[in-house]
């Protein structure tokens, strides 16, 4: 074969291709095929993206519609009343709102220092060989079904609280003088629910904190060390401030989980429709109220009241999350 462009060998290569695949027209056809596939994928992903907010909207609409009769009947009183009486058909969720907020924030208060402390240890102090196994074990906490946490709490945590912790707090430390640790120690209580929630949200806060702490640039650490900082001073003055808004994000993730957690809380909170300042007293949360009563709700208005409790939980979660996001945004802005 005579190659008209010997230095490029193009003609030769073209001839090779022609003998190997003698149907160049197919290429054009396949190009058109790609465009169709592109359009198909675009439609599919758009549909997937649209489905999620749509789902949220449908849930919101259904819950609101279901809640409407109760909301119309009781108005704002639904939020402020402590009555929950299927016999008289009067319903209010004030104790459940109170229980939800108290247990969630107490859980955060207990879990955050532990989780952040564990994350600081694992990223800054731990020997190399311990890091992965210890982090894995903490993460594993998140994989335990919440009903298992509930069972454990009933059989282990609550008896310990009743026999040892509550008497110790109330009598030995003398905290019984304050309204928060007074009254009889039944066991099932706001305190028990808060503790089990703390254990459940700990892995989330810890995992996020670990990631953001590990992501603090080496240059920031070196800058602190070069100023004569000890390791702890470096962590306190350079590492944690840099990771602050990320850690806060992890805390919010935990808060979201705590607000909505149902099973384990229902099993240990005592399920009593009452607002009590004492953490030893049994209480209720919005989620546990729904879980506890839905199967045996008799009247339409009771069902609607439970739907309304769900609606309130929805709104409370939304407000708390919005507030928390604002907090992250603000610290993040200070950090920039």
Partner 1 sequence: MATIEARALGAAAPATPPRVRAGRLSAGFGPVTAIRDITLDIADRHITAIIGPSGCGKSTFLRALNRMHETVPRAWARGTVLLDEHDIYADDVDAVAVRRLVGMVFQRPTAFPTMSIRQNVAAGLRIAPREERQHEEEAVEHALRRAALWDEVKDRLDDSALALSGGQQQRLCIARALAIEPEILLLDEPTASLDPISTEKVEQLVHTLREQVAVVIVTHNMQQAARVSDTTAFFLSGELVEVAPTRTMFTHPADERTEAYITGRFG
Q: Which is nearer to partner 1, 16 or 233 (CB)?
A: 233
Q: Which is nearer to partner 1, 143 or 226 (CB)?
A: 226
> Distance (Å, rounded) from C-alpha 95 to C-alpha 79?
9
Q: What is the CA radius of gyration of the chain?
A: 29
Q: Which of residues 19-78 bind partner 1 (CB under 8 A)?
A: none
Provide, rounded to whole angstroms, the least separation between the CB of residue 328 and partner 1.
14
Kindly report the three-state secondary structure assignment for every residue of 262-286.
Answer: CHHHHHHCECCCCCCCCCCCCECCH
Residue 210 burial class via C-beta count within 10 angstroms: exposed 0-12, middle 13-18, buried 19 and up: buried
Which region holds residue 264: left if phi is over 0, alpha if psi is between -120 and 50, else beta? alpha
Residue window 77-96: x/- pattern of binding to partner 1, with contact defined by CB under 8 A: --------------------
State both tokens at 124: 């800054």
H-type alpha helices, 164-217: 166-167, 190-214
Q: Which is nearer to partner 1, 90 or 225 (CB)?
A: 225
Residue 110 burial class via C-beta count within 10 angstroms: exposed 0-12, middle 13-18, buried 19 and up: middle
Q: Which is nearer to partner 1, 97 or 224 (CB)?
A: 224
Q: Which is nearer to partner 1, 3 or 222 (CB)?
A: 222
Q: Which stretch binds partner 1 (CB under 8 A): 22-30, 77-85, 216-224, 277-285?
A: 216-224
Q: Which stretch binds partner 1 (CB under 8 A): 5-13, 54-62, 214-222, 308-316?
A: 214-222
Q: Which is nearer to partner 1, 56 or 335 (CB)?
A: 335
Q: Which of residues 219-258 bind partner 1 (CB under 8 A)?
A: 219-230, 233, 237-238, 241-242, 244
Q: Which of residues 305-334 bind partner 1 (CB under 8 A)?
A: 334
> Distance (Å, rounded) from C-alpha 32 to C-alpha 195?
61
- Binding residues for partner 1, rule CB under 8 A, total 21
How many residues are there in the chain?
336
Positions touching partner 1 (CB under 8 A) are: 219-230, 233, 237-238, 241-242, 244, 334-336
């Amino acid at each position: 074969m005579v190659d008209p462009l010997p230095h490029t060998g193009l003609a030769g290569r073209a001839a090779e291709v022609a003998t190997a695949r003698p149907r160049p027209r197919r290429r054009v056809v396949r190009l058109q095929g790609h465009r169709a596939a592109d359009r198909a994928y675009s439609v599919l992903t758009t549909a997937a993206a649209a489905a999620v907010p749509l789902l949220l909207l449908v849930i919101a609409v259904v819950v609101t519609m279901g809640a409407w009769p109760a909301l119309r009947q009781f108005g704002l009183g639904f939020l402020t009343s402590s009555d929950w009486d299927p016999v008289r058909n009067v319903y209010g969720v004030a104790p459940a709102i109170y229980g939800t907020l108290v247990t969630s924030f107490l859980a955060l208060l207990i879990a955050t220092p532990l989780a952040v402390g564990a994350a600081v240890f694992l990223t800054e102090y731990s020997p190399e060989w311990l890091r992965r196994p210890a982090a894995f074990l903490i993460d594993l906490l998140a994989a335990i079904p919440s009903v298992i946490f509930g069972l454990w709490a009933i059989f282990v945590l609550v008896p310990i609280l009743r026999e040892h912790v509550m008497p110790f707090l109330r009598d030995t430390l003398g905290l019984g003088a304050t309204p928060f640790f007074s009254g009889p120690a039944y066991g099932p209580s706001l305190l028990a629910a808060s503790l089990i929630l703390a254990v459940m949200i700990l892995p989330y806060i810890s995992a996020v904190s670990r990631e953001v702490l590990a992501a603090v640039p080496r240059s920031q650490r070196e800058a602190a060390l070069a100023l004569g900082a000890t390791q702890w001073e470096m962590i306190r003055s350079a590492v944690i401030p840099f990771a602050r808004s990320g850690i806060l994000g992890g805390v919010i993730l935990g808060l979201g989980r705590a607000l909505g957690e149902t099973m384990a809380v229902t099993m240990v909170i005592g399920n009593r429709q009452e607002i009590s300042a004492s953490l030893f007293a049994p209480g209720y949360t919005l989620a546990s109220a729904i879980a506890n009563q839905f199967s045996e709700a008799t009247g339409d208005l009771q069902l609607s009241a439970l739907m309304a409790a769900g609606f309130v939980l929805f709104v409370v979660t939304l407000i708390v999350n919005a507030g928390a996001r604002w907090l992250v945004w603000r610290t993040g802005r200070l950090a920039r």
